[in-house]
Amino acid sequence: MKRKISLFLIFTLAIVGVFSWNLMAKDDEEVSILFTHDMHSHLDVDLVYKDGEVTERGGFAKIKTFKDQIEESYPGTFLLDGGDFAMGTPFQTIFREKASELKGMAEIGFDVTTLGNHEFDYRAKGLAQMLTEATNFESQREELEKSKNNKNKGLKKAENKNKEDKKSKDSIDKKHENSKEEAAEETPKYKLPIMVASNVDWEASMDDKKLQKDAKELYEAFKTYGGKEYTIIEKKGVKIGVIGLLGEEAIEDAPLAGLKFENYIDCAKRLVKEIKDKEKVDMIVALSHSGTNPEKWEESEDYKLAKEVPELDLIISGHSHTVLEEGKQVGDTLIASCGAYNQNIGHIVLEKKDDRWKAKEYKIVPLDKNIENDEITAKIIEGYKKEIDETFFSKYGLKSDQVIATSDFDFKPIEEIGVEQGEEPLGNLITDAYLYVANQNLKEGERPFDLAVSPSGTIRSSFMAGDITATDIFNTSSLGIGEDEKVGYPLVDVYLTGKELKAMAEVDATVSDKKTAARIYTSGLSYTINRHRLFLNRAVDFSFVDKDGNKVAEVENDKLYRVAGGLYTCQMLSLVKDNSFGLLSVEPKDENGEIITDFNKRIIKDSSGEEIKEWWALNQYMASFDGKVPEYYKSTHNRKVVNDTYNPVELLKQPNNIAIMLLCIVLIPIIIIVGLIVWLVKRRNDRRGFARSIFRDGGRHYKPSKFNRRSSRWNKKRKRW
């Protein structure tokens, strides 16, 4: 019996051991990752379009609720962010002073984030201020923790003193629990996310005399915050290496960064090798603010990253605001994107197979009304909203929820702005606002502005039917900072020749299909686009028009025209040459035709000397509507006409120099080939005895060759002639 019992116990222990080992192995071989990117300061819940209806979506409080739900099934879930966590709503107005985005991410429990191009919108100095404020918050958290501990010690003494009195003890216990709850609410439970910025070339930036002052300040703030080139994080026995990359287009989109960068692929190769050599990690993840284009997949920067650096297990792909409903596998690397503005969150469960990680589960989860708002997080966000009113909107005599105008119709949702080529009512509204306010603030005797421009890439939100508040307007044109270091890009005053206006329109017509942020909207200018015309000659029929689309003047190539646009937009116009392969050029000038080197000197200011911000110009224009947005902005007005016809007249009219050059390149080989054919035919005819071919005198005359003259047959023919 003892032997049987012993064997039974051994067998049972063996079964339990094997089962436990399998469970442990399963845990070790499975990783759960939540991810976001391009949050753009959308800390609060938004109202958005879905299936033709307005619904609640997004916000940090929903992310917190969803994270808590996931961790019930997957303890030790990693939460990662792919950059551009800032800039896009009024929360950015306290970016430097309160670091609301990073502190909010800490409340949720983000593990790692990286820098996108928009974190540099307030320049290196502004980013340094934000990081310093966030770092100070850590010390504030420690003070609150001490305060909490002191409260608990006091309660403990009170409890010991009155332990003989049960009734009193119960009362103290109740107070003790209440105080603990209060302390928990007062004391942050969170730690700031680790920041990785891998391909910033700090050494080269600080060696550059023009950049070194701000670069050094940012570097010191970054290091004090705890920023790293890469980081290793571990949960439930799983270690992952994380790098953070800024892609080539994102670097180009950050002209105010004041830094130099290493190529993102070269950097990834270098760090992956270093991590593999020095660290014992289970996987390597890249937080890549580079982007993808599902329609031109193999041209995408993150596709190239996956191909060039196959050791990467996962790429969280930001910048392009793409939603990949299914993860894209490139070799053994998974590329994941969940879209912008916290409308969704991504969840991936990876399992190890044959020494590499494969997606067991991949979901893009809408943060909609089906997910409740975490109460504590929501209260923190409300606190930040009060600060925004006090520190920002009050300076403009506004409140964040103040209604500026009402609309009886919906504008196109922001997700659809710029997707298709053509005129856009919201673009018309914004550029009309720029032109209106710029001309309202002319000094005595100044020449009026001829037109205003805005690209789709600077439009960050749209309007729904109903009340339009100051916050709604700010969200639409929210980016950047001026020389005054106040929030919002200011309007600037530049001059372009008629030829340069045509070149700008040509970038819209030819280049923007690949880069939709370059779609151009105008006030005062009209042109037609035909995408079947020759490359870089697809925009024609240029003219100046009134608001109803009626032609008022021709566009003269050599004449200077006065243009109002945002600071960022006008700075980026000089990149037209790069985007058109050097064939087009747009160089903003002053009224004397001199190329502008300092755009801060061209900022448009009001009568009190204050910079006129893009969002404020839109606010002022909409305030002039007497409460209601005109029906005019419900439709288009021939400012940009798309006419993709194959009519030969339309295809060949108004050729520019590039078209003529391309035609010559095409026609010269054709002429050579035709000439060669003519020569060969003539030579053949001469050899066969034709004096003149069909190309000379209709081929009516013969000239006998020496060979044929000797033949009697030819002589008979000759006599007949």
Alpha-carbon distance of 418 to 512, in angstroms, equals: 9
Give the pLDDT score at 540.
96
- Scan for tokens 């789709």, then name that residue: 456
Query: In which band, very low, low, confident or very high, does the pLDDT at 162 lie, cut at 50, 70 and 90?
Result: low
DSSP for residue 691? S
Say which residues have a Cβ less than 8 Å from residue 447's Cβ, sequence separation at least 6. 562, 591
Is 649 strand, coil or helix?
A: helix
Q: Indicate whether 260 pLDDT > 80.
A: yes
Give the pLDDT score at 646.
95
Give the pLDDT score at 690.
58
Q: Among residues of the chain, what percentage have pLDDT more than 70?
A: 82
Among candidate residues 340, 362, 342, the one with its CA nearest the CA of residue 350:
362
Q: Are 539 and 624 in contact (CB under 8 A)?
A: no
Query: In which band, very low, low, confident or very high, does the pLDDT at 184 lie, cut at 50, 70 and 90?
Result: very low
Give the pLDDT score at 656.
81
Using DSSP bridges, classify how beta strands 333-336 and 314-317 pair: parallel, antiparallel or unpaired.
parallel
Alpha-carbon distance of 458 to 479, in angstroms, equals: 7
CB-based burial of residue 180 (10 Å sphere; 0-12 exposed, 13-18 middle, 19+ buried)? middle
Give the pLDDT score at 552.
95
Q: Indicate whether 25 pLDDT > 50.
A: no
Structure-token pair, residue 653:
């009219």
523 forms beta bridges with 452
Alpha-carbon distance of 660 to 656, in angstroms, equals: 6
Q: Where are the domains of the chain?
A: 33-375, 402-654, 663-720
Q: Matching CATH topology for 33-375 and 402-654?
A: no
Q: Cα-flanking dihedrals φ and ψ of residue 476, to 5°?
A: -70, -35
Task: Read off the pLDDT of residues 593-652 as tens digits, 9 standing for 90 and up.
Answer: 999 999 999 999 999 999 999 999 999 999 999 999 999 999 999 999 999 999 999 998
How far CA 474 is from CA of 234, 355, 480, 564, 682, in Å, comes to: 40, 49, 12, 19, 75
Alpha-carbon distance of 427 to 423, in angstroms, equals: 8
Alpha-carbon distance of 279 to 242, in angstroms, equals: 12
Decide which of 365 and 177 is more confident: 365
Alpha-carbon distance of 172 to 562, in angstroms, equals: 75
Give the pLDDT score at 141.
64
Alpha-carbon distance of 528 to 508, in angstroms, equals: 11
Using DSSP bridges, classify how beta strands 194-196 and 230-235 pair: parallel, antiparallel or unpaired.
unpaired
Most confident by average pLDDT, 12-26, 27-41, 288-302, 696-710: 288-302
Query: In which band, very low, low, confident or very high, does the pLDDT at 509 lie, cut at 50, 70 and 90?
Result: very high
Task: Read off the pLDDT of residues 279-298 as tens digits, 9 standing for 90 and up.
Answer: 999 999 999 999 999 888 99
Please state the length of the chain.
721
Decide which of 407 and 138 is more confident: 407
336 forms beta bridges with 316
Give the pLDDT score at 585.
87
- The model carries a pTM of 0.80
Alpha-carbon distance of 527 to 538, in angstroms, equals: 10
| Average pLDDT across the chain, whole number | 87
Which of 3.30.479.10, 1.10.357.10, 3.90.780.10, 3.30.70.330 would CATH assign to domain 402-654? 3.90.780.10
Alpha-carbon distance of 671 to 659, in angstroms, equals: 18
- Which stretch of 19-23, 63-67, 69-73, 387-391 has the lowest confidence by average pLDDT? 19-23
Which of 3.40.50.300, 3.40.630.30, 3.60.21.10, 3.30.365.10 would CATH assign to domain 33-375? 3.60.21.10
Decide which of 673 and 176 is more confident: 673
Give the pLDDT score at 536.
87
Structure-token pair, residue 200:
């910033």
Q: Indicate whether 342 pLDDT > 50.
A: yes
